[in-house]
Copies of this chain bind each other. A is one copy, B any other.
Amino acid sequence: MSEFSNVTVVREANIYFGGAVTSRTIIFADGTKKTLGVMQPGEYTFNTDAAELMEFLAGELEYRIGDSGPWLPMRAGESFTVPAKSAFTMKVATVADYCCSFLA
């Protein structure tokens, strides 16, 4: 297990796609944020404002940046980065546990 210490956690969950994707917002002392989330099997598209680092703690999925690139596999222990002001789609095969970091 790994931990984030000395953080603030927003109590209320972020709920997307009718609850198929949910997350908690973690705020660090330096003001940066991450979300810790869970995705049920399904297909989800998100848009980014800042660039994002998606790290996977559990689950199997495929992802694609934009709407025409190749579908790439993603497993627990792996991660991918999404540029700012873009979109990415994930086809989640098994319940996925992730940590999303918002990059400067």
Residues of A within 8 A of B (CB): 1-13, 15, 18-19, 22, 24, 26-27, 36, 38, 40, 57-58, 94-95, 97, 99
Number of copies: 2
Q: Is the CB of A22 within 8 A of B9?
A: no
Complex-state Cα separation, A100 to B10, whole angstroms: 14
Shortest CB distance A19–B (Å): 3
Interface majority SS (helix, strand, loop, mixed), chain A: strand
Q: Name A26's closest neighbour in chain B (CB-CB).
A: B9
- Residues of B near A99 (CB, < 8 A) are 11
- Within 8 Å by CB of A13, from B3, B12, B15, B36, lies B36
Q: Is the CB of A11 within 8 A of B95?
A: no
Q: Is the CB of B7 within 8 A of A3?
A: no
Complex-state Cα separation, A63 to B3, whole angstroms: 32
